[in-house]
């Protein structure tokens, strides 16, 4: 079974490593170099080329891939060509395909607002663009994957088969460093990939308010660092704040929990019970973040206990060895 994953993202890279550990010949390929310096199996570095050379290189790569791979696993709703004309080429060649939506590429603002007054979406992903993209994909692809119940709500009626599979974490890569109970000035870290989407302005406002009140803690806003550099900072944290707008947790929360850190994140109230039991994330939204953060800073025992629970949760629900078989099952059904 030879599977090509394109075209970007840390979850894609980690998933391929997990598949490889199970004997699947999975290859992760980034089309462009990523600012976080992820390490896929292949990087075409198209961002370094002028337009015509980019187009020529991706067309050549498609032709080579048709000869080399059996299954094509598309992430973030992207394929080889922006107009999706490669779908017909792959179909004619008898190739099997699956699409994996991760967030803004499937999150419909009108639907999200029904249960989430705080939600924001990336402006480039308009609902018209999402529907057009899905229409082109679902014409050729029957199986679609998302990582959590929040995304499932947008996708359930758009493909013949939808699957909810938690993203994979190689827990062995993360040595837990649980918060020290004796720490009187805990380090709070927030690492937004997009301030607008993550609700960073509310976090910064809460931090400033608590600092003015005289509460003892340190705050670090992590931006512009490589993935490895960010992980090193997470390892030093006593509290990690993920996001306050989307209504679900993502890779940042999972990695922080794998490191044994308590995580603050907004989980939509109607979705809490849809996650596996024991979800240890401390829920906060833009209206409650100041109070929630203050309480956690003042309770070192809670920080440590939540860190332990987070590590256990990730091991039980995101560990690569446990999750990856669900992907292999889908491949076998294609």
List pLDDT tens digits, range 78-119.
Answer: 999 999 999 999 999 999 999 999 999 999 999 999 999 999
For the stretch 288-321, pLDDT in tens is 999 999 999 999 999 999 999 999 999 999 998 8
For the stretch 192-239, pLDDT in tens is 888 889 999 999 999 999 999 999 999 999 887 777 788 889 999 999
What is the separation of C-alpha 326 from the centre of its chain, rounded to a whole number of angstroms?
A: 17
Instruction: Say how many C-beta atoms besides its own lie within 10 A of residue 124's C-beta.
Output: 7
pLDDT of residue 155: 87
In this structure, the answer to whether residues 75 and 160 fall within a common structural domain is yes
Taking residues 25-47, report their average pLDDT.
Answer: 88
CATH of the domain at 185: 3.40.50.2000
In this structure, the answer to whether residues 114 and 178 fall within a common structural domain is no
Provide CB contacts within 8 A for 259, sequence distance 6+: 174, 175, 176, 177, 231, 234, 235, 237, 311
Q: Is the pLDDT of residue 328 over 70?
A: yes
Measure the CA–CA gap between 48 and 85, rounded to whole angstroms.
Answer: 24
Place of tokens 């707008």: 245
pTM of the full structure: 0.91
In this structure, the answer to whether residues 105 and 217 fall within a common structural domain is no
pLDDT of residue 36: 67
- Please work out, in degrees rounded to the nearest 5, the angle formed at the alpha carbon of residue 18 by the alpha carbons of 12 and 24: 100
Work out the mean pLDDT of the chain and round it to a whole number.
94
Say how many domains are in the chain.
2
Q: Which of 35, 38, 31, 33 is nearest to 17 (CA)?
A: 38
Q: Which of 37, 34, 40, 39 is nearest to 6 (CA)?
A: 40
Residue 10's φ and ψ, nearest 5 degrees, are -65, -40
pLDDT of residue 39: 86
In this structure, the answer to whether residues 312 and 324 fall within a common structural domain is no
For the stretch 128-170, pLDDT in tens is 999 999 999 999 999 999 999 999 989 888 899 999 999 899 9
pLDDT of residue 87: 96
Give the confidence band of 45 by pLDDT, cuts at 50, 70, 90. Answer: very high
Instruction: Say how many C-beta atoms besides its own lie within 10 A of residue 213's C-beta.
Output: 9
- 132-160: burial string, b at 16+ Cβ within 10 Å, e else: ebbebbeebbebbbbbbbbbbbbbeebbe
In this structure, the answer to whether residues 101 and 179 fall within a common structural domain is no
pLDDT of residue 71: 98
In this structure, the answer to whether residues 245 and 282 fall within a common structural domain is yes
Q: Which domain holds residue 20?
A: 2-168+320-333
In this structure, the answer to whether residues 154 and 182 fall within a common structural domain is no
In this structure, the answer to whether residues 155 and 197 fall within a common structural domain is no
In this structure, the answer to whether residues 294 and 152 fall within a common structural domain is no
In this structure, the answer to whether residues 205 and 217 fall within a common structural domain is yes
In this structure, the answer to whether residues 194 and 79 fall within a common structural domain is no
Place of tokens 């679902």: 138
In this structure, the answer to whether residues 64 and 209 fall within a common structural domain is no
């Amino acid at each position: 079974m030879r599977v090509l994953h394109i075209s970007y993202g840390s979850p894609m890279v980690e998933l391929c490593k997990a598949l490889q550990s199970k004997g699947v010949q999975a290859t992760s390929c980034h089309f462009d170099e990523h600012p976080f310096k992820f390490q896929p199996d292949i990087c075409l570095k198209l961002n370094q080329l002028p337009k015509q050379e980019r187009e020529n290189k991706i067309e050549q790569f498609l032709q080579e891939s048709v000869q080399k791979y059996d299954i094509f696993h598309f992430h973030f709703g992207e394929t080889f060509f922006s107009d999706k004309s490669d779908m017909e080429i792959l179909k004619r060649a008898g190739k099997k395909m699956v699409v994996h939506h991760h967030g803004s590429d499937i999150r419909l603002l009108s639907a999200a607002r029904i249960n989430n007054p705080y939600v924001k979406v990336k402006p480039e992903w308009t609902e018209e663009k999402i529907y057009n993209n899905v229409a082109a994909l679902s014409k050729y692809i029957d199986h679609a994957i998302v990582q959590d119940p929040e995304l499932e709500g947008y996708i359930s009626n758009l493909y013949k088969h939808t699957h909810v599979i938690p993203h994979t974490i190689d827990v062995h890569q993360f040595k837990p460093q649980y918060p020290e109970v004796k720490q009187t000035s805990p380090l709070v870290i927030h690492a937004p990939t997009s301030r607008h989407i993550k609700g960073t302005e509310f976090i910064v406002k809460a931090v400033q308010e608590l600092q003015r009140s005289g509460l003892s803690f340190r705050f670090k806003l992590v931006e512009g660092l490589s993935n490895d550099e960010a992980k090193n900072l997470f390892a030093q944290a006593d509290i990690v704040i993920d996001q306050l707008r989307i209504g679900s947790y993502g890779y940042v929360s999972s990695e922080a929990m794998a490191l044994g850190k308590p995580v603050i994140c907004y989980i939509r109230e109607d979705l809490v019970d849809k996650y596996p039991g024991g979800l240890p994330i401390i829920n906060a939204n833009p209206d409650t973040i100041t109070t929630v953060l203050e309480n956690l800073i003042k309770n070192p025992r809670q920080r440590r206990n939540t860190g332990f629970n987070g590590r256990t949760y990730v091991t039980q629900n995101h560990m690569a060895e446990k999750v990856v078989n669900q992907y292999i099952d889908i491949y076998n059904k294609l």
